[in-house]
């Protein structure tokens, strides 16, 4: 059973459909563990989403159930995507929304990568 307030994994969620190629996306990276693509509604000049290929609802679910190889492979991919996008200098931000208080909209674990301008404060107060 997935570990999340978001319920069981829904194979019809939008990112599952993107992974199956049923919905187009602007791919920037793909390997055995991860898939990365541009966000449809970018919040910064660069706004890319990195998702695991396997079925995890959120980081809560991923951290509890993913194998060591899946966890290592996924986080290596996050770093590789940022590197490939030449964001390491001058820097970038990663963010993962988990559950209701964070406003997670899509129930397939994803990490946002933001860059391309100074990003300001972490959170609104
Ligand atoms: P969350 O709020 O769940 O952390 O973020 C979901 C993100 O997915 C949002 O930034 C939203 O713009 C993006 N998104 C939603 N639907 C699509 C889609 O069909 N294609 C792409 N590329 N991004 C999407």
Q: What is the pLDDT of residues 5-60, one digit of tens each?
A: 788 999 999 999 999 999 999 999 999 999 999 999 999 999 999 999 999 999 99
Lowest mean pLDDT among 3-12, 43-52, 66-75, 83-92: 3-12
CB-CB contact of 79 with 58 (8 Å): no
So where are the chain's domains? 14-115
Residue 49 has which token pair? 């989403």
Task: Quote the strand ranges of the chain, DSSP E.
Answer: 27-30, 34-38, 46-52, 92-95, 111-115
User: What are the residues facing 50 on neighbouring strands?
Assistant: 36, 111
Residue 123 has which token pair? 């959170």
Average pLDDT, the chain: 95
The CATH H-level (homologous superfamily) assignment of domain 14-115 is HIT-like (3.30.428.10)
Neighbouring CB atoms inside 10 A of 116's CB total 15
CB-CB contact of 14 with 35 (8 Å): no
Q: Tell how far the Cα of 17 is from the centroid of ligand 1, in angstroms.
A: 12
Q: Collapse the DSSP code of 11 into the 3-class scheme (helix H, G, I; strand E, B; otherwise coil) and give the result.
A: coil
User: Which atom of ligand 1 has the smallest separation from the CA of 25?
Assistant: 22
The set of catalytic residues is: 110
Asked if residue 85 has pLDDT above 60, the reply is: yes
39 lines ligand 1 (CB under 6 A): yes
pTM exceeds 0.85 for this model: yes
Q: What is the DSSP letter of 88?
A: T
User: Which atom of ligand 1 has the smallest separation from the CA of 38?
Assistant: 22
């Amino acid at each position: 059973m997935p570990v999340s307030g978001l319920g069981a994994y829904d194979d019809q969620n939008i990112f599952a459909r993107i992974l199956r190629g049923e919905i187009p996306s602007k791919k920037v990276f793909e390997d055995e563990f991860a898939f990365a693509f541009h966000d449809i509604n970018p919040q910064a000049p660069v706004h890319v989403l990195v998702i695991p290929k396997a079925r995890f609802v959120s980081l809560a679910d991923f951290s509890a159930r993913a194998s060591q190889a899946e966890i290592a492979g996924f986080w290596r991919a996050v770093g590789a995507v940022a590197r490939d996008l030449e964001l390491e200098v001058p820097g970038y931000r990663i963010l993962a929304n988990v559950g209701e208080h964070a406003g997670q909209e899509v129930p397939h674990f994803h990490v946002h990568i933001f860059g391309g301008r100074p990003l300001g404060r972490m959170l609104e107060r």
